């Protein structure tokens, strides 16, 4: 199982997709709002997505473990698992993490995809229109992330 982008995500980003070096950049842009809001979308069907990669590409390769950590932190928080509950923490981590790249089990990749799908939903809901230029999108995205962090307790 690999990292997936919804087909409607690619349509939404079509005017600026060429400005990114990989499709994983767009995945990451969707993933962060999903993590901040702890929002997943579990309703996306497999025929509505395209697999973009099975591993963290390029610049994300060295940051893959950080993304895995963010997934674990977000998921433990969403489930209300206190870090002092070692058995529960260990159990959830062992379901999500493996020792080889991409360091996520199929369950972990599926969960990360759900957060990316949920983050895309947040982008669509909170932005007035789809991005037409990278410069404008980056400014709006930065403001959105700041607003989401202010609204969320853990960020």
Q: How far apart are CA 3 and CA 56, in angstroms?
A: 9
Mean pLDDT of 85-91: 94
What average pLDDT does the structure give for the chain? 94
Beta-bridged to residue 6, according to DSSP, are 49
- Single pTM value for the model: 0.94
Q: How far apart are CA 110 and CA 49, in angstroms?
A: 12
Tens of pLDDT, residue by residue over 40-66, are: 999 999 999 999 999 999 889 888 999
Q: How far apart are CA 36 and CA 26, in angstroms?
A: 16
């Amino acid at each position: 199982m690999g990292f997936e982008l919804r087909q409607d995500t690619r349509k939404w980003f079509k005017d600026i997709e060429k400005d990114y070096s990989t499709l994983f950049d767009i995945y990451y842009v969707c993933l962060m709002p999903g993590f901040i809001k702890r929002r997943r979308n579990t309703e996306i069907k497999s025929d509505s997505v395209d697999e973009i990669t099975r591993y963290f590409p390029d610049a994300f390769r060295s940051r893959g473990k950080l993304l895995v950590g963010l997934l674990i932190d977000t998921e433990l928080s969403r489930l209300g698992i206190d870090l002092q509950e070692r058995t529960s923490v260990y159990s959830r981590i062992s379901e999500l993490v493996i020792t080889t790249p991409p360091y996520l089990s199929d369950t972990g990749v599926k969960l990360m995809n759900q957060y990316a799908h949920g983050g895309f939903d947040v982008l669509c809901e909170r932005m007035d229109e789809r991005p037409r230029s990278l410069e404008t999108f980056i400014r709006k995205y930065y403001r959105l992330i700041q607003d989401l962090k202010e609204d969320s307790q853990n960020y």
